[in-house]
Amino acid sequence: MTTRNDLGSSGSADPTLRRGLGLLEVVVYGVGLILGAGIYAILGEATAVAGTAVPVSFVLAAVVASFTGLSYAELASRFPKGEGDYVYVREATGSKRLAEVVAFLRVFVGAVSAAAVALAFGGYLTAFTQTPVAVVGVGLVVVASAINFWGIETSVRLNVVFTAVEVAGLVVVIWLGGGALGRLPALETPAGVTGVLEATFLVFFAYLGFGSMVTVAEETEDPTRTIPRAIVVAVGITTVLYVLVAVAAVAVVDWRVLGASASPLALVAETGGDPTLGTVVGAVALTSTANTVLILLVSTSRLVYGVSKSEYRSFPAVFSRVHRTRRTPYLSVALVGGVTVPFVLIGDLGAVASVANAALLVVFVVVNAALVKLRYDAPRAHEGFTAPLTVGRFSLTAIAGVVTSFGLLVVYLWNLL
């Protein structure tokens, strides 16, 4: 028997997204999304400006990410919807227009971030073939979009395998660096504190994945509990890995050489081990970055799907259509893949990642502010996760998220001048 909730506006049965993700799957989804967008993709760019202090930049970025991550965890508990940021801002401010601006920025960030990681994939592939980086990146986006269309279960199964491989690659780098810790180089920063802060802005790209975890809420079992827990666990795991790998990298390879490399972790493995090990880690990096492109496209297409629903009517309703056989938002998948390709063709990883970061920090400022307002407007609206460090209704972590996100944005804008 078909219930009212199963009917579309036309009165015929409408397919819906399939709920099949538990805590483990969402944690692995988040870890895979965060890792590939970060240490494999941006370590070289960050080291070039921070020198041997790049581990400090990762710690600072982790602090900023943690404040905002706690806000996302509470908001996801209050509103377990795949539209994520859009819903949070609309519920807090009552402004559909502001929520639409945030949703647009989120889609922009997703597409640009996928492009940046696709370029990192191309950079690692140059160790194996001379195919132009941009061409390789475009090919990866096309293949990942096809997998995204095929189904969430396929995407998540691949993510579990790929994440295990990329964590193993990082463990190898940490192990290689362990033998070199006794000869850690002296603190050397080519641009002083300014360089460390600039690198902090760059490596913040390494944490962008936690904000996208909320977009699979409608494909997650018990999302009110599962999504907040998964965000906290994923940020914790990746922070530990990031800092250890950054320390190992500058212990093994001179920071100038590392900063100039298009495949930094493969270089660390080759220098600390042998060429064969470097090739293996390079192959792992390909797996990691490919996985991240896939998950970024999945999360961004789910956001487009959600905001296009008839209950919001913010994006064209056509993008809320779900394929009857594959049960995926196929037109949203096609849109996100198509928007990503032009950014891949830019070909400059650092520039693309910086643009993604700037837009993301604007979103984070607004989302943290939304939680501050909701704490006063609806203090007892939910019984799920609540961010710690609360004074009355005042969220200290959310305010810290506003201040630190805005501060990193100022660093970026200052460096443009």
The pLDDT value recorded for residue 411 is: 80
Residue 173 lies in a domain: yes
Task: Name which of 55-69, 291-305, 374-388 the model is least confident about.
Answer: 374-388
On the question of pLDDT at 4 being above 70, the answer is no
Average pLDDT, the chain: 83
Tokens 């132009």 sit on residue:
132
* CA pair distance 302, 147, nearest whole angstrom: 14
Residue 209 lies in a domain: yes
Residue 346 lies in a domain: yes
User: For 254-303, how does the pLDDT look when each residue is reduced to its tens digit (9 = 90+)?
Assistant: 999 998 887 888 899 988 888 888 888 888 888 888 888 888 898 889 88
User: For 90-139, how does the pLDDT look when each residue is reduced to its tens digit (9 = 90+)?
Assistant: 999 999 999 999 999 989 988 988 888 888 888 888 777 888 888 899 99
* CA pair distance 51, 197, nearest whole angstrom: 12
* CA pair distance 65, 147, nearest whole angstrom: 29
Domain of 134? 20-416
On the question of pLDDT at 1 being above 60, the answer is no
CA-to-CA dists, residue 15 to 5, 47, 297, 324, 377, angstroms: 11, 48, 21, 6, 35
Counting residues of the chain whose pLDDT is more than 90, the rounded percentage is: 23
Task: Provide the CATH number for the domain around residue 221.
Answer: 1.20.1740.10
* Token code pair at residue 73: 């965890």
How many residues in total does the chain contain?
417
Residue 380 lies in a domain: yes
List, in sequence order, every residue forming a beta bridge with 7; answer none if it has no partner: 13
* CA pair distance 245, 272, nearest whole angstrom: 13
Question: Which of 112-116, 151-155, 397-401 has the largest mean confidence?
Answer: 397-401
Which band of pLDDT confidence, cut at 50, 70 and 90, is reported for residue 370? very high
User: For 33-42, how does the pLDDT look when each residue is reduced to its tens digit (9 = 90+)?
Assistant: 777 656 776 7
Tell which residue, 145, 183, 232, 178, has the closest CA to residue 52. 183
The pLDDT value recorded for residue 278 is: 85
State the first-to-last Cα distance of the chain, in angstroms, to the nearest integer. Answer: 63
Which runs of E-coded beta strand occur in 95-162? none
Residue 4 lies in a domain: no
Which band of pLDDT confidence, cut at 50, 70 and 90, is reported for residue 309? confident
Q: Which one has a higher pLDDT value, 11 or 318? A: 318
CA neighbours closer than 13 Å in the CB half-sphere of residue 378: 15
Tell which residue, 101, 99, 87, 91, has the closest CA to residue 374. 91
Residue 12 lies in a domain: no
Residue 397 lies in a domain: yes
User: What single DSSP character describes residue 4?
Assistant: G
The pLDDT value recorded for residue 120 is: 84
Using a 10 angstrom Cβ sphere, with 0-12 exposed, 13-18 middle and 19 or more buried, the burial of residue 94 is: exposed
Structural domains counted in the chain: 1
What would the mean pLDDT of 221-248 be, rounded to a whole number? Answer: 87
Residue 359 lies in a domain: yes
The pLDDT value recorded for residue 11 is: 39
Segment holding 175, helix H or strand E: helix 152-178
